[in-house]
A and B are shown apart, each in its own frame.
Chain A
Amino acid sequence: MATTPALVAASAGRGAPVSVAIAAVVALLVASGITAFTRRMAAPGSLYTFTAKGLGPLAALVCAVALLIGYAFLAMAALVGFAQYAHALAVRVGWSALPAAPAVAGLVAVGSLGVASCVAVGARVSARVTLALEAVSIALVAGVLVVVLGHGGGLPGAAPLGLDGGGPAGIVAGVVPALAAFIGFESAAALGPEARRPFRTVSRAILGTVGVATALYLFATYAQVRHPGGGRADAARGWAAALDAGLATSFLACALAATTALTRLLFVLGREGVAPTALGRTHPARSTPHVAALCAAPVVAAVPCGLLALGRDPAQVFAWVMGMLTYGHMTAYLLVSVAAPVFLRRIGELTVPAVATAAVVVPVLVVVSATYSGSGAPGADGWVPVTFAGLLAAGLAGVHWLRTRAPHRLAAVGLYDETTVEDLCAAAESGGATTGVAVTASAARGNG
């Protein structure tokens, strides 16, 4: 909430609120495509499973690779963000013995270990930790914003921004960092199988997340544009420390959420036999996907630590990782937006608004991503798309290998929670032996 406005304003200047508004509309359109699925099916594989239902297993696996990249780098970005602000806080209170890079790397490693153990221990624990972290973070950040902005000052600690520049191209380039702030709004989609009345609650949660986030970001961006720079940073040293603490906890909560989503996706892929089946194993006592959680944690910690070891400074690493996660999520959003009308057509429920949504959102995502990669925004340097394309290609090679070696595994792609005989009205079922058999047979076919 407090970093996004600065990132958007870096590209869009005074047009930042416009960028945020455009991003909100795009996120809402993507969300409406996703809810076309969540109103009709409950799947732990979320966007990956939805793409499978619309575009088939190959596109779904591309989406899975993109989402894996998206969630893994989101976890990395959040950990780096956490480490940066935790380090800044330590420096502010007087512990400045360590140089930045090793301190940040150490904090990233500790953070990833803590997050992975939360996920491995259980959903109840990680949900409570997330809630506690978010409560602390929102209280701190909102408190600082109200007090400091209320006095007409700028955000303490934030570098003064040049607000000239921008223009239409800047506004378009600013849409991507603004959209990146919405990333994760779809995460409720994976919770359908665990929710009560999932077809209603999940869709509401997704659209509600976009709505609330829009209000928060518009407020924060407006505040940023009106009061840029930290004119009163020195006077508000205590507030700055509170802000650092709030941002660090917020990033930690984000890392936990991203790791949960990443673990869930790895678990589904393992279950379907697309990824190594060990990933689909659950802990015998806690029934959590502990193998997937413990495999994800070292990767998530190693990439930023490696980049820091190569001599990049933490801010550079953060921007680079943000770029990667943005490309991953944009690809997944693009695929699921295309998949929605195809899926609706397949089940005979296609409507004009569904087609119109896809027709608007697909070119917008393409244009915005292209503008972003051509802009000089942080995280948009040439290596990011190249690395993303390389990882995607490696994933596709794996898919190709799977298709030639074990084509039957592709048939398992797209499992979801199906209607079972228990969900049906018994009176209707006993209406005729033939209909009862037909229901059971189609249920069995779906499970095969």
Chain B
Amino acid sequence: MASPNVPAPGRLAPPPALSLTGRQPRAVRAALAVLEAVAQAGPGVTARQIATTLDLAPATAYRIVNLLVADEYLVRLPDLKGFALGRRMEGLAHAALPPHVPTAAREAVARLRTRTRWGVHLALYSGARIVLVDPDPDHPPSADSLLSARPNASALGKLLLAATADPRLSGLERDRIIADGHAAQRGELRAGHACLAVPVRGPADGALVAGLALSTTPERLDTLTSGELTALHRFSTELAPLLA
């Protein structure tokens, strides 16, 4: 009975044609308070406990909890009594929290900036999103949202597309990125700007966790020496245990 209009979780849903006036502020507040209560209490909290905590009428709390379960913001645990935050909350949590970058990693990137003539940016990958966690203050990069929206035009985005075998990247380009161990773009995102990105991979599983980008002009990118490239790869290997 899977309805074709229901999008797969994680994919962007087309806005449903709701005849909604938004004039039920109490219901909206109660639903958000229920989510908060489950987050604070941890997995296993029961509907009755939620009702008591929030001072809601039990029937109201049960209705809200079951609506949130139906939409997969909450899940019912196997004992059928307890609740936990559902997978759909993961997207919200990731979007709300800037990914944590240890001070040691920031200091290492700052040291690299003093030794090089390029702009250096550090970005973390969070699902399909690219988050610039440590942009170079002297060479302001394009906005995160632009990178995430047009990953096939940026070096950091191409690394992500190559790692996920995304069809937006041609097979030829993907093979070259994997063989070279880095991705580059020349004026594809902004005229007069070029970028080269090397991946930072988890030391244990080799999964793509972050990208280190050198930003410059297209002409200067061509003057990058193989010695500088090797040093950049070595640096990304050193950065890996700090980020993964």
Contacts and interface: CB of A to CB of B under 8 A. Distances in A.
B1 A419 contact: no
Contacts of B86: 423-425
A39 B84 contact: no
A348 B42 contact: no
Nearest to B65: A349
A351 B66 CA distance: 13
Given A419-B78, A423-B75, A428 B1 contact: no
A438 interface: yes
Contacts, number: 118
Given A347-B80, A442-B78, A443-B77, 7 more contacts: A194-B1, A200-B71, A347-B46, A348-B46, A352-B59, A424-B87, A439-B43
A426 interface: yes
Closest 10 CB pairs of A and B: A446-B78, A200-B70, A425-B85, A199-B70, A428-B85, A196-B2, A425-B89, A418-B78, A195-B1, A348-B48
B72 A40 contact: no
A426 B90 contact: yes
Contacts of A423: 72, 75, 86-87
Contacts of B58: 349, 351
Interface in B57-98: 58-59, 62, 66, 69-72, 75-82, 84-90, 93-94
Contacts of B46: 347-348
Contact of B90 (A188, A196, A201, A427): A427
A203 B47 CA distance: 20
B72 A348 contact: no
Contacts of B191: none
25 contacts: A39-B69, A41-B76, A191-B1, A195-B1, A197-B6, A200-B70, A201-B1, A203-B70, A347-B79, A347-B81, A348-B48, A349-B47, A349-B58, A351-B58, A424-B43, A425-B84, A425-B89, A426-B90, A428-B89, A432-B42, A435-B43, A438-B44, A439-B44, A439-B84, A442-B44
Contacts of B90: 425-427
Nearest to B84: A424
Interface of B: 1-3, 6, 8, 39, 42-44, 46-48, 58-59, 62, 66, 69-72, 75-82, 84-90, 93-94
A445 interface: yes
A198 to B, nearest CB: 8
A438 B43 contact: yes
Contacts of A188: 1
A255 B76 CA distance: 35
A422 B2 contact: no
Interface in A174-192: 188, 191
B-side binding surface: helix, strand, loop or mixed?
mixed
A402 to B, nearest CB: 25
Nearest to B60: A351
A443 B80 contact: no
A253 interface: no
Interface string A407-428: 0000000000011001111111
Contact of A195 (B2, B69, B89, B94): B2
Nearest to B59: A351
Contacts of A431: 42
A88 to B, nearest CB: 34
A53 B93 CA distance: 34
Nearest to A352: B59
Contacts of B44: 435, 438-439, 442
B42 A445 contact: no
A381 B66 CA distance: 45
A222 B82 CA distance: 48
A354 to B, nearest CB: 9
B1 A349 contact: no
A205 B3 CA distance: 11
B106 to A, nearest CB: 23
B66 A40 contact: yes
Given A194-B1, A196-B2, A351-B62, A41 B80 contact: yes
Contacts of B3: 196-197, 201
Contacts of A439: 43-44, 77, 84
A297 interface: no
A267 to B, nearest CB: 18
B81 A348 contact: yes
A419 B90 CA distance: 16
B85 A53 contact: no
B12 to A, nearest CB: 16
Contact of B62 (A191, A203, A349, A432): A349
A39 B70 contact: yes
Contacts of A428: 39, 42-43, 84-85, 89
A119 to B, nearest CB: 17
Given A194-B1, A425-B86, A439-B84, A445 B78 contact: yes
Given A188-B1, A205-B1, A423-B87, A196 B6 contact: yes
